[in-house]
Structure 1
Amino acid sequence: MDGMSLCWVSDHTGFRGIIKNSASDFVVTEINMHGQLVSDVEADCSQDSDNIESEQEKAHPIQKKRMKKPEKALETFSGLPIFDKLKDANVVHGKVNQTADSNLPESAANSPSLQVSETQGGTLHLLLGSSLSEKLEKFASLAKERKAAEQEGTEDKASLLLGTFEEKCQRAAIHLAVRQKFPFLKTVTSCGEIEVRLDPQYSELCQLVSEEEANGFFGFLDSRDRSSKFTFQSDQNKEHRKAIHHFVSKYFGKLVETKSFLEQDGSSDKAAVITVRFRGKITSGRKRNANDCQAVPTTYTAFTLCKVNMETLEAIACLASELGVVASDFSYAGIKDKKAITSQSMVVKNVTINRLKAKQLSIQSKGLNVYNLRRATEHLRIGQLKGNHFSIIIRNVSKHQEDDPNTSLADQVFEAIENVKEKGFVNYYGPQRFGLGQNVQADQVGLALLEGKLVEAVHLVFTPEEGDDPVNQAKRHFIQTGDAKGTLALMPEYKTRERMMLRALNRYGNNREGCARAWLSLPHSMRVLYIHSYCSKVWNKAASFRLKTYDLKVVEGDLVACDNLEWDPSNQDNSQVHIVTTEDLKSNIYSINQVVLPMPGNSVQYPCNKLALWYQETLAQDGLKECKFRIPALQLNIPGCYRRLLAQPQQLLFRWLEDKEVPFTKEGCELVTDDSKQPHEVRDSLSVSFSLNSSCYATVCLREIMKCNV
């Protein structure tokens, strides 16, 4: 990793070998959120795109098998689907005017109120089960009094996890049911898991109006009834009305609009009421109502993509060209290695199963394979996977030159595998995280972006490498001439990222504004990748400093994951980490496997030991002392996250390969071979397989096993 001083976990000798001798030597298969290999996911039995209902029923056959009791709530409720029942629930908004064309609001003599039918209580029992719904009731009662954290004792904030729900319609039903019964709560979904919290917007509104009015207003929003209006109580205080207008505009301005009307009751006081109504949808310069047209539902088709010796973005460009869609219509959970055979889940928007199926042979001619076609309900998100399974062949296995010649190579391999299986490895980011080329790496581009040097960052992207291939010819032309149009003509079609930037540069120019437009032409996930690359480089250095300073022991001021089993590395919430205290050390309750280090960002907690000063000095040396990790010009916000210091491979297995596949003994290191052959003479290639959690790198695991850079 570019000469960086890296650390080891184990002190075994290791061995030498060659990986990625060919793409078939490095096979990567994604593991989805259910713990399944994506190559094993079942496809739809029916491919009839005209029968949408039947496809939706078969959309997730695997998920249905794994469905838990609370998810059975999708069945029916009183003869109607749950979601429809919730939409039709008896919710009456005080001061909701059902006549949209009325010029004036109704009288505000009566206080607004929200009367929720007991239906919601029964619905929540069906959706969540009696135990969880009772827990939700208790949480709501405590949260309403602002004493949830204190009463629960161990919680740092008022929140409750309801569990994971795979289907989008399930989550929608739960969101609606919770809001209708408890307007002061909000529900948040992360990777299918629903969390309930106090709604800060509700609390803020309650500082301006009564609780009944707040209930009525949020119930009005949930109804989505564009024919209705909502009115707040009569108010003589202009400044107070202004504050309400500002609140509604700030949080819901894109959805609704407000207007004040003077009361016409004959009184001399200038009392007025605020009326809220939904904004009309505007298309082609004119307002359209719901009767003008019916919304066409978005089609999502999921599939497994297998690629060989090809970058993920290059594969997407090929698929987009074949299907006649844009690259941004594809979503994926993670970028896979180039020099490898990889299988991963993808979702494409607005492409039916039949259309994709018809293009399978044409896509196959491009060196790609798409299979396990199935209907999906939404796009994939980066990080929406459990991990990856690796099957790797290490060729020309031999000892290091300085190794003891009397030690068996087989023994060294066995010791290395067993040590890493037991102790794990330092969870460094692998070299793929930083790759653009040898002259310029992605972290250098990320640093330039964080410094606000947008023009320099563009030039770094187009810095050529050694060689005279078409890509380097095009980059060299741009650096020498600044001619975006000419460079675009030279740049190969598969270089999607560079071509998007060149189109923007050709249109807007090469100045700072044009370069900003060039960066904005890339999808958000691609722009932020450069920033993450820089932050990953800092993390790697921090991990080495941490291990050299404190070794493999937990020390005061370390950050540890609060929940060792269910901790989510993609969540930057500081409540997920705990600062180790002197009392914790005496109790010996934390292990090195729970220690985490922060990726730099604007929302992370840094360790409270020597690492705190190290982070400050490192960022300052890179010119980021005052960096807020926000780049408004590029619409980038980097909150940061936490990453475990050590990683652990699962199902780590190995076997020696020969011309004939000879089994090995229960010890895992000795082959049944001709006694006249010495073990080191027949051990040439080694097959290793293991699974890693998401964002962990196989090359880093192999580095620990082999005790050399691979």
Structure 2
Amino acid sequence: MVDKETLFGISEYFASGIGFDGTLKSRISDFLVNEIDTDGNVVHLTRLGVDTPAASEVAPACGRLDPQLVAKIEAFLHSNDANLLIEASEDKNARRLLHQQIDAAFPTHKLLRTPLRDASTGVHQIEISRASSRTPAFRRQEATRMNRSADGASHFLHFILYKENTDTMEAVHRIGQYLRLPPKCLQYAGVKDKRAKTVQKVSVRFRDPQRLAGFNQTGVLIGNIAYAQKQLQLGDLTGNRFRLVIREVSLTDRTRVEEAARSFAEQGFVNYFGLQRFGTTEVATFEVGQALLRAEWAEAVQLILKPRENDNVVTAKCRAVWVETGDAEAALRVLGRKSCVEGFVLKELARKKDDWLAALQAVPRNMRMMYVHSYQSYLWNLTASYRIRELGRKPVVGDLVYKTASHGDAKRLKRGADAEAEVTILTEAELEAYSIYDVLLPLPGYDVQFPQTPVTEFLLDITRKDGIDLRSRHKIKDYSLSGSYRPLVTKPRDVRWEIKFFDDPDQMLLLSDGDVLNGVSLPPSSAESGSYMALIMEFNLLASVYATMAIRELMKRSSNVLSKFSASEPAEEPEGNALPSDCFVQDVGDSLDEAASAPST
């Protein structure tokens, strides 16, 4: 049987060694991930609730509203009056400042402020009235406020999100529902693994920290809420701190385990894209990407709607109806109102029969781009394996490197013109100044350099056979990929390991932030003897680096067979390619066990 890793180009180990057997992710509590922010700090949930003072205690940058005017507006809010008129200055800047001061003084009230001018006297006024979130004028007012900085005023709240066995988009969707905000109002730096206990920063365009602090749902905690002047963006992180347990290690393998841990820390691993990048079903995401890049729209639709063995009941029936009848309306009725890739495609086909391109374009852009980025990743893995296998583990003339050695460890790789200016072809005279950790491979596109080694011909031969030319722009702008660069080999940082012995096979061996807040303590274990042995690993990885590929190198075992969940902690798969209703889809681009940096476009 062909190992699944081989199908996605993953075949080489960087360091020699025989590794050891064991099981990763036996329990959700065995895999902990804490985001590392752009300042290099590991993010922790240290308290529930609000770190920032109440809005009324913060002096806004625009200054405080006159107390008499505050009292006047408060009296209006407690009255049955339809509106309140207040005089405003002749000076436009002063009127703008007054609007900002009212907004800052009453952040939780929906007050529509309408500028007026008395026709007879010419006096400027502001009419204040009550509004709802659905009032068109109020929505326009809020949009203007959100998109304009009020002299540095803090329009955003940042908070720490802790989640267990929940993916990031689901957790954000639940918080958005609670706040009655669309998910697009909540932003985060990267997606974290579902099958884990994870901690990350989230920002929200919302002005009431106490309301946010009231959120409390199973498996999701929020805290350390504070005001901030800007929202988070995808890629606003350095990396992630991983703490994990490898169980079912043989009691006789202690020496091998210690040798493997030392080698892993000192030498690193091939920076492959992990299996998560390519989906978990028989239809790999890169296959859909190939069809999109070949402009084979009907083929791409058929691949998306093709039946899978592990489909849930509803999705399986939906796909079956489509395959048997080709009737989009009938298949859509089976699916119901579920918001997912299949639903987007079928809904458009029900409107425009056989308009395959329109059906694909109905899928949110970031979801469509995941397919073509997956193909880029597939090519990268294949060329990385070829580079290691055929050219070895040292730099060679013709490799791509940054002009300054050791640049490959930059927290975020630049793309397009910025990257092009910094990347160069390695010459004979420069070989001694660079190491294998400086060597880059391109994620192919129309705006990247290619190595002057056999690697390039190997890559182009694959794309020619696939009928794809990524060096040219696609006729559909979305699928024109500029490309980017990725280090061939990477090292974990701040690596620590510990061998533990214990007698209960299900004994908890790590405490998450949530456990610490709940007062959970670890049962006793031993460093010398017990019925079972486990390896506890801690390390930092840069953004866009896969922890599963790190553990693959550590154990010298396929990542396809490393993970196992106990019956007491099931790892539920999302239904089909399900997305939350009314979902604003972020590009989850990279793996579910890492924080995605900005995807190449």
TM-score scaled by length of structure 1 = 0.57
1:534 and 2:375 equivalent?
A: yes
1:33 and 2:38 equivalent?
A: yes
Q: How does 1:619-698 map to 2 (within 5 A)?
A: 619-625=463-469, 628-630=472-474, 632=476, 635-659=478-502, 673=528, 682-698=531-547
| Alpha-carbon displacement from aligned partner over 1:637-674 (angstroms, at most 9, x marks no partner) | 421111111110112222223337999xxxxxx97536
Partners of 2:340 and 2:470 in 1: CA distance: 34
Cα distance change of structure 1 residues 485 and 55 upon mapping to structure 2, 3 Å threshold: farther
Deviation of the 1:50 alpha carbon:
6.0
1:452 and 2:295 equivalent?
A: yes
1:578 and 2:446 equivalent?
A: no
- Gaps (5+ residues) in structure 1? 58-83, 85-287, 400-407, 664-669, 675-680
Cα distance change of structure 1 residues 629 and 356 upon mapping to structure 2, 3 Å threshold: farther
Is the contact made by 1:48 and 1:55 (CA closer than 8 Å) also made in structure 2? no
SS across alignment from 2:545: coil
Q: How does 1:86-97 map to 2 (within 5 A)?
A: none
SS across alignment from 2:243: strand
1:443 and 2:286 equivalent?
A: yes
Aligned to 1:422: 266
| Alpha-carbon displacement from aligned partner over 1:58-108 (angstroms, at most 9, x marks no partner) | xxxxxxxxxxxxxxxxxxxxxxxxxx9xxxxxxxxxxxxxxxxxxxxxxxx
Deviation of the 1:421 alpha carbon:
0.7
Partners of 1:51 and 1:509 in 2: CA distance: 59
| Alpha-carbon displacement from aligned partner over 1:104-125 (angstroms, at most 9, x marks no partner) | xxxxxxxxxxxxxxxxxxxxxx
Cα distance change of structure 1 residues 631 and 657 upon mapping to structure 2, 3 Å threshold: farther
Partners of 2:45 and 2:458 in 1: CA distance: 45
Deviation of the 1:319 alpha carbon:
3.2
Aligned residue-pair number = 449
Aligned to 2:145: 296
Is the contact made by 1:505 and 1:518 (CA closer than 8 Å) also made in structure 2? no
Deviation of the 1:489 alpha carbon:
5.2
Q: 2:458 aligns with which of 595, 605, 614?
A: 614
Aligned to 2:515: none
Aligned to 2:24: 19
Deviation of the 1:420 alpha carbon:
1.0
Partners of 1:378 and 1:484 in 2: CA distance: 43
Partners of 2:344 and 2:264 in 1: CA distance: 43
Partners of 1:49 and 1:355 in 2: CA distance: 12
Q: How does 1:437-586 map to 2 (within 5 A)?
A: 437-467=280-310, 468-485=312-329, 487-488=331-332, 490-491=334-335, 496-519=340-363, 522=364, 524-563=365-404, 564-565=406-407, 567=410, 568-572=412-416, 573-585=419-431
| Alpha-carbon displacement from aligned partner over 1:29-79 (angstroms, at most 9, x marks no partner) | 11111112222588853353567754999xxxxxxxxxxxxxxxxxxxxxx
Is the contact made by 2:298 and 2:356 (CA closer than 8 Å) also made in structure 1? yes
Deviation of the 1:389 alpha carbon:
1.0
Q: How does 1:252-263 map to 2 (within 5 A)?
A: none
Cα distance change of structure 1 residues 489 and 343 upon mapping to structure 2, 3 Å threshold: farther
Of stretches 448-457 and 638-647 in structure 1, the one that deviates more from structure 2 is 448-457
Partners of 2:487 and 2:330 in 1: CA distance: 46
Partners of 1:591 and 1:5 in 2: CA distance: 22
Is the contact made by 2:166 and 2:194 (CA closer than 8 Å) also made in structure 1? yes
Cα distance change of structure 1 residues 530 and 347 upon mapping to structure 2, 3 Å threshold: farther
Is the contact made by 1:463 and 1:475 (CA closer than 8 Å) also made in structure 2? yes
Is the contact made by 1:7 and 1:544 (CA closer than 8 Å) also made in structure 2? yes
Deviation of the 1:502 alpha carbon:
4.6
| Alpha-carbon displacement from aligned partner over 1:593-646 (angstroms, at most 9, x marks no partner) | 11110001111100011112112111111111376254536x344211111111
Partners of 1:325 and 1:465 in 2: CA distance: 34
Cα distance change of structure 1 residues 345 and 448 upon mapping to structure 2, 3 Å threshold: farther
Report the AA paired with residue 455 of structure 1: A
SS across alignment from 2:26: coil
Is the contact made by 2:500 and 2:526 (CA closer than 8 Å) also made in structure 1? no
Cα distance change of structure 1 residues 293 and 350 upon mapping to structure 2, 3 Å threshold: closer
Partners of 2:352 and 2:181 in 1: CA distance: 24
Is the contact made by 2:328 and 2:350 (CA closer than 8 Å) also made in structure 1? yes
Q: How does 1:339-350 map to 2 (within 5 A)?
A: 339-350=195-206
SS across alignment from 1:347: strand
Deviation of the 1:5 alpha carbon:
5.1
Deviation of the 1:22 alpha carbon:
2.2
Cα distance change of structure 1 residues 492 and 318 upon mapping to structure 2, 3 Å threshold: farther
Partners of 1:574 and 1:652 in 2: CA distance: 33
Report the AA paired with residue 642 of structure 1: Y
Partners of 1:465 and 1:56 in 2: CA distance: 57
Cα distance change of structure 1 residues 323 and 610 upon mapping to structure 2, 3 Å threshold: same
Deviation of the 1:422 alpha carbon:
0.7
Q: 2:235 aligns with which of 383, 407, 420?
A: 383
Cα distance change of structure 1 residues 371 and 494 upon mapping to structure 2, 3 Å threshold: farther
Partners of 2:366 and 2:394 in 1: CA distance: 36
The percentage of aligned residue pairs carrying the same residue is 30
Report the AA paired with residue 427 of structure 2: T
Is the contact made by 2:444 and 2:471 (CA closer than 8 Å) also made in structure 1? no
Q: 1:595 aligns with which of 421, 436, 439?
A: 439
Aligned to 2:578: none
Deviation of the 1:501 alpha carbon:
4.5
Of stretches 503-512 and 588-597 in structure 1, the one that deviates more from structure 2 is 503-512
| Alpha-carbon displacement from aligned partner over 1:560-593 (angstroms, at most 9, x marks no partner) | 12232474424342122121112223xx111111
Deviation of the 1:350 alpha carbon:
4.9
SS across alignment from 2:393: coil
TM-score scaled by length of structure 2 = 0.67
Report the AA paired with residue 649 of structure 1: P
Deviation of the 1:453 alpha carbon:
2.3
Q: How does 1:337-376 map to 2 (within 5 A)?
A: 337-350=193-206, 352-358=208-214, 360-361=215-216, 364-365=217-218, 367-376=219-228
- Higher RCO (Cα < 8 Å, 6 or more apart): 2
Partners of 1:528 and 1:487 in 2: CA distance: 25
Partners of 1:545 and 1:461 in 2: CA distance: 30
Aligned to 1:6: 11
Partners of 2:62 and 2:322 in 1: CA distance: 49
Report the AA paired with residue 543 of structure 2: S
SS across alignment from 1:45: coil
Cα distance change of structure 1 residues 640 and 614 upon mapping to structure 2, 3 Å threshold: same
